[in-house]
Amino acid sequence: MDYRPDEQSIGFVLMDVLQADRQLAGLRAFADQDADLMRQVLGEAAIFVRDRVAPLQRVGDTEGARFAGGRVLAPTGFRAAYQDFWQGGWAGLSSATEDGGQGLPELLNQVLYEWLSAANHAWTMAPGLLHGAYECLKHHAQPQVQAQFLRRLATGEWLATMCLTEPHAGSDLGLVRTRATPLADGRYGLEGTKIFISGGEHDLSDNIVHLVLARLPDAPAGPKGLSLFVVPKVHADGSRSAVVCERIEEKMGLHGSPTCVMRFDGAAAWLVGAPGRGLAAMFVMMNAARLHVALQGIGLLDAAWQKAQAYATERRQMRAPRSSGGGVPPPAGGSLIIEHPAVQRLLDVQRVWIDGMRVVAYQTAIELDMARHHPDDSRRAQAQLWCGLLTPVLKAACTDQAFEGASACLQVFGGHGYVREWGVEQILRDARVTKIYEGTNEIQAIDLLVRKIAADQGQGLRALLARLSAQADLPQAGDMAQVTDRLLADSAANPALLPTVATDYLRCLALLALDWAWQRTMAVAKQGGSARDAECQRLHNAFRAWVWPEFPMRLSMLRDAR
Amino acid sequence: MDYRPDEQSIGFVLMDVLQADRQLAGLRAFADQDADLMRQVLGEAAIFVRDRVAPLQRVGDTEGARFAGGRVLAPTGFRAAYQDFWQGGWAGLSSATEDGGQGLPELLNQVLYEWLSAANHAWTMAPGLLHGAYECLKHHAQPQVQAQFLRRLATGEWLATMCLTEPHAGSDLGLVRTRATPLADGRYGLEGTKIFISGGEHDLSDNIVHLVLARLPDAPAGPKGLSLFVVPKVHADGSRSAVVCERIEEKMGLHGSPTCVMRFDGAAAWLVGAPGRGLAAMFVMMNAARLHVALQGIGLLDAAWQKAQAYATERRQMRAPRSSGGGVPPPAGGSLIIEHPAVQRLLDVQRVWIDGMRVVAYQTAIELDMARHHPDDSRRAQAQLWCGLLTPVLKAACTDQAFEGASACLQVFGGHGYVREWGVEQILRDARVTKIYEGTNEIQAIDLLVRKIAADQGQGLRALLARLSAQADLPQAGDMAQVTDRLLADSAANPALLPTVATDYLRCLALLALDWAWQRTMAVAKQGGSARDAECQRLHNAFRAWVWPEFPMRLSMLRDAR
């Protein structure tokens, strides 16, 4: 069973719960957006995802990307689908029209990528970095560099990489050693080896644009000595850069996406932005990428849920307890396994996260649009704050749940879940990487608590809590503010305190956001009085009964931590 | 880095905390066991595990079992290691001496299998079912059948399978359709297809003994119509049985262990035990197997922890918060990652489970020896009760933690954890199956709460809680008894209640048992006044701070469930 985007549910979240069309209507950039246009775009997107991308899910895993003498061949069908993808305008959905893009809201782009990831995580890795690379060059590159690359990245004709990690420098980019030596023509020669480069080499697109962190000769040690460079696989004159793919990694999953070791042998590159400002330029790219990874998490969880739900409504085993009450004889072959309360609960818990985190993530995408386009400074600042605090929360919580929930969905299949045939174990293997890349989930938690909340002594947090509380009844927001004050006060004497509890803290904020999302959902669902109302009510109950109790547990851990 | 059994830690749990030698000394069967002999046996076992089994971990995964025309070839080196294993007497460690075994306590066998699973889960699948098959035939088979098979299974010269599952019958064995038709010579012809048969075909041993659940012609529908049969791959006259391996599954992990689809084409088999008593005979085998799976979970978690611990004490990234206080400059290349509080916490939490659950699991193995050999009826009954309640708890809790904890250990490696090279992702993939086989963890929870605790209205539970409370200060045992009464009372009107909360209930009991284990450990560790004392104290603190808070959370879910 291939993944199918559920336009109905998404439409409900976007238009009914979030009123995304009205929120965006105030932005001049999207003055001509309305709900109908957005629905139409998503309808077309759903068809592309369903017909062209989802059917390649299995072959990506079984065949995998193949390395042969420095070249990398994508799995069968991947290139053709990618060529149709960018030529159909999907890669440039939210790029500026002046660069050849469609100029649509980032929100729609995020929904598209959620679906793509759900349908085929490995394939989606290729265009997944594109938009960040485009934004990075758009904001930081010199006109001469933009002229070469911007249009090609905006449309997706060429694909892009982020070359950050080195063998000894993972979470700690300050340790990066790749050197950039000035050349006579104003460019720089790059020397060094980068690892874990997704799509460092492949045959999906005719060129690949590498964004590379490196160190100028006179650069200081640490992160402030890093500058950003850009180098294409193939130059305008058709010559190949001195960039070599040494090998691709054997991984737990995501076999269809080549993870490359890239060697730079004096490759001629352009500086992007100011010397020593490489990390700042890269962070633009990384923050957008983090929301993108959160949406991957939601998509992967939805894909696993779809499979488990289908299996649970087909497969019969044993008599469910409900049947034992009413004197009805057990059906031939037993009850449907979804009739077993433990199975229903397990599936409901996944929907609580999927449907709830969509509300939070889509609102965050809207905030990205606000931060970019809103005329009002204070609204832009509010949007920045929302994104700054909730992006790490979403990245960590959605990917943790993707992995844990995919495992729960696998469990619904019993032994069948462990074999390749049903495809759910692939989702679990693929999903595992999302907890690691774009900053491990532990780094997200530290980013949230140490770098953001502690940095302004909790002011931003209080503003966020006030904003959430204005739209929902969140009595625990006060507990959260209180425990934050306590932690910040005690952390002066105990610098290990915040990093020790950062994950618990992030989980609390995730659960508060989920609570907010479900209250907003229920407020709208009740107006409908329909089948959706009953379904939402059941899921809201599941949230209260099985998901929310983690909040008081984590809060007690935060309170007791010394 | 290959897994290495830690004899010191195990010796501390066995001899100091549990005083296993003294507990077993009261049994005539083990009158000549003492601590020195036990240590010596474990010392030799550790060498075999380290030198012969652990080095085959990687090849098992990369090469895998290979299927070719009905035959299955084990990965390189697997057969030679297995032949040395059984010839060295390890397969028969706890089999009776009159059958060619060593007659040692089940306890030692369980420790051996924990180490084997940690070193090489896939290889260990082969002998893992042996002891259960031996016990099953020893207790249920007619002398003529025993004469053929018992000695060969006791020594491990031949390997064994359990043929239960069919395509439509997984957790619900009542749906089994394989037919057994009486033959003229007193045997039965088996017709049917069994799936998920671990080691159904291979070249590790010269023969394979299949234990098969099937239905006699006049058998009633459902579980009471199932009888147990035994059929070897090769008969005494050298002829092959009509048993065919149709294919082996492509799985998420455990590639070195063939999971076979077995077709019985009229294979001539002997009946074991009485007609219609097949499930009862199989349950003997399954209960022993469940404790074995719990030990697999502990072993796999320990293997993942060893890898992560080694990596964390070698790899440097960023400056740990501790260094920022004392004015000491950050070391070159950053701090060791184990100095980062979040990493230390994550590793400590795994040790809390490993070291604590060993106490519970080894005591359960001792109870198995008690149940088998103690002269006193009431002590045997007490042992049965302990095993009945704590075996499902151990199976589910240890395998859940194996998977979750292996994932946490993978996380310590960052991106390196996701690639094959470091071996930790293999443990995660291999470990995933332990949550499924021998009864899914959801089935364990229902077995505990519905089939055992509800069946005697909580009497057995109260006896167990009293026994635990006699050795530790467990104020929450009262909460547990109270919530049990509430659940049982309410379940009459609401038959879905118990299955809905069974997993929360099992977790509560697991955490109580862990609390008991750590209190027993601390009582002994404090006497030492050594480095072990400090280490235990740190882990006991980690238990209280990061593991125990799940208990009040789950208890609140049990209290609030309607």
Q: Do A483 and A555 form a contact (C-beta atoms < 8 A)?
A: yes
Q: Do B428 and A432 touch (CB under 8 A)?
A: yes
- pLDDT digit string (tens) for A399-417? 999 999 999 999 999 999 9
The Cα B77–Cα B53 span in angstroms is 9
* pLDDT one-digit tens code per residue, B329-344: 556 778 999 999 999 9
User: Is the CB of residue B412 less than 8 Å away from at least one CB of chain A?
Assistant: no
Query: Which residue of chain A is at minimal alpha-carbon distance from B544?
Result: A557
B 416-435 near A (Cβ less than 8 A): 416-421, 425, 428-429, 432-433, 435
Res. B346: pLDDT tops 90: yes
Cβ-Cβ contacts under 8 Å, B410 against chain A:
432
- Per-residue model confidence (pLDDT) at position B274: 95
Spatial separation of the C-alpha atoms in residues A553 and B551, rounded to whole Å: 9
Question: For A374-403, what is the mean pLDDT?
Answer: 97
Q: What is the pLDDT of residue B286?
A: 77
B240: distance to nearest CA of chain A, Å?
29
Q: Name the residue in chain A with its Cα closest to that of B332.
A: A175
Share of chain A above pLDDT 90, in %: 89
Extract the tokens encoding A175: 């340790």
- Say if B221 is an interface residue toward chain A (CB within 8 Å): no
Q: Read off the pLDDT of residues A59-85 as tens digits, 9 standing for 90 and up.
A: 999 999 999 989 999 999 999 999 999
- pLDDT of the residue at A329: 56
A553: nearest CB among B196, B498, B550: B550
Nearest-by-CA chain A residue for B167: A416
Summarised one tens digit per residue, pLDDT across range B18-61 is 999 999 998 988 887 789 999 999 999 999 999 999 999 999 99
Is the CB of residue A467 less than 8 Å from the CB of residue A449?
Answer: no
Question: Are A192 and A169 spatial neighbours (Cβ–Cβ below 8 Å)?
Answer: no
Q: Please identify among residues 21-80 of chain B the ones whose CB lies closer than 8 Å to any CB of chain A.
A: none
- Give pTM, 2 decimals: 0.97
CA distance A445 to A410: 28
pLDDT band at A331 (very low <50, low <70, confident <90, very high): low
Instruction: Check CB contact of A168 with chain B, cutoff 8 Å.
Output: yes
Which band of pLDDT confidence, cut at 50, 70 and 90, is reported for residue B321?
confident
Task: Establish if B503 touches chain A: CB-CB under 8 angstroms.
Answer: yes
Enumerate the active-site residues of A: 438
Q: What is the predicted pLDDT for the residue at B527?
A: 86
Lowest mean pLDDT among A324-328, A435-439, A446-450, B396-400: A324-328
Flag whether residue A442 sits within 8 Å of chain B, measured between CB atoms. Answer: yes
Write B311-317 long-range contacts (CB < 8 A, 24+). Answer: B311/B337, B311/B412, B311/B413, B311/B416, B311/B422, B312/B336, B312/B337, B312/B338, B312/B343, B312/B347, B312/B412, B313/B338, B317/A169, B317/A170, B317/A171, B317/A172, B317/A175
Residue B110 has pLDDT above 60, yes or no: yes
What's the pLDDT band for B327 if we cut at 50, 70, 90? very low
Q: Which whole number is the average pLDDT over A34-49? A: 96
pLDDT band at A323 (very low <50, low <70, confident <90, very high): very low
Distance between CA atoms of residues A562 and B545, nearest Å: 10
Q: Min CA distance, A341 vs chain B (Å)?
A: 5
Out of B170, B415, B441, the one facing A317 most closely (by C-beta) is B170
Give the separation between CA A300 and CA A260, rounded to whole angstroms: 23
Task: Supply B313's token pair.
Answer: 């004490």
At residue B225, the pLDDT reads: 95
Q: Are A171 and B403 within 8 A, CB to CB? A: no
ipTM confidence score: 0.96
With beta carbons under 8 A apart, name residues in chain A contacting B503. Answer: 342
Q: Is the pLDDT of residue A394 over 70?
A: yes
Within 8 A of B437 by CB-CB distance, chain A residues are 415
Helix (H, G, I), strand (E, B) or coil at A130: helix
First to last CA, chain A: 50
Cα–Cα–Cα angle for B381, B384, B390, rounded to 5 degrees: 140
Chain B contact set for A433 (CB, 8 A) = 418
Query: CB distance from B538 to chain A under 8 Å?
Result: no
Q: Which of A154-168, B528-542, B543-557 has the lowest mean pLDDT?
A: B528-542
**Residue A324's pLDDT band (boundaries 50, 70, 90)?**
very low
User: What's the Cα-to-Cα distance from A468 to each of A512, A522, A539, rounded to whole Å?
Assistant: 9, 15, 21
Chain A closest-CA separation from residue B184 CA (Å)? 33
Does pLDDT of A188 surpass 60? yes
Residues of chain A contacting residue B250, judged by C-beta atoms under 8 Å apart: 419-421
3-state secondary structure A25-86: HCCHHHCCCCHHHHHHHHHHHHHHHHHHHHHHHHHHHHHCCEEECCEEECCCCHHHHHHHHH
Residue A515 has pLDDT above 70, yes or no: yes
Q: Does A165 touch chain B (CB under 8 A)?
A: yes
Residue B446's identity, in one-letter code, is I
List CB contacts (< 8 A) between B411 and chain A. 435-436, 440-442
Residues of chain A contacting residue B195, judged by C-beta atoms under 8 Å apart: 415
Paired tokens of B90: 């390890």
- Model confidence at A531, pLDDT cuts 50, 70, 90, reads confident
> Do the Cβ atoms of B250 and A342 come within 8 Å?
no
Q: A73 pairs with which residues across the strands? A: A66
Is residue B325 scored above 50 in pLDDT?
Answer: no
> Chain A 242-261, CB below 8 Å of chain B: which residues?
249-253, 259
CA geometry: angle B478, B480, B483, nearest 5 deg: 110
A425 contacts B436? CB cut-off 8 A:
no
Q: Which amino acid is at A507?
A: R
> Residue A553 and residue B549: Cβ atoms within 8 Å?
yes
The rounded distance, in Å, linking the Cα atoms of A294 and B104 is 54
Q: Pick from B341, B411, B557: which is nearest to A500 by CB?
A: B341
pLDDT, mean of residues A291-309: 98
Interface test with A, best of B173, B317, B498, B562 (most A CBs within 10 A): B317
Within 188-207 of B, beta carbons closer than 8 Å to A belong to 195-196
Residue B247 vs residue A287, higher pLDDT: B247
Q: What's residue B531's pLDDT? A: 77
Cβ contact, residue pair B425, A252, below 8 Å = yes
Q: How far is CA A390 from CA A291, A395, B305, B399, in A?
A: 9, 8, 32, 33
Which residue would you say has higher pLDDT here, B198 or B531? B198
Report the DSSP pairing between strands B208-215 and B159-163: parallel
Q: Which pLDDT score, from 0 to 100, does residue A319 have?
A: 87
pLDDT one-digit tens code per residue, B413-438: 999 999 999 999 999 999 999 999 99
Contact status of A317 with chain B (Cβ, < 8 Å): yes
Q: Where are the beta strands (DSSP E) in A164-286?
A: 179-182, 188-198, 208-215, 226-232, 243-248, 259-272
How far apart, in whole angstroms, are the C-alpha atoms of residue B247 and residue B201?
10
Q: Is A550 on the interface with B (CB under 8 A)?
A: yes
Contact A411 B435 (CB under 8 A): yes
Helix or strand (DSSP H, E) at B385 = helix B377-412
Disruptive mutation site among B250, B500, B551 for chain A (greatest number of A CBs within 10 Å)? B500
DSSP state of B477: H
Averaged pLDDT of chain A: 95
Does residue A166 register a pLDDT over 60? yes
- Is B259 in contact with A552 (Cβ distance < 8 A)? no
Provide, as residue numbers in chain B, all residues whose Cβ is less than 8 Å from the Cβ of A429: 252, 429
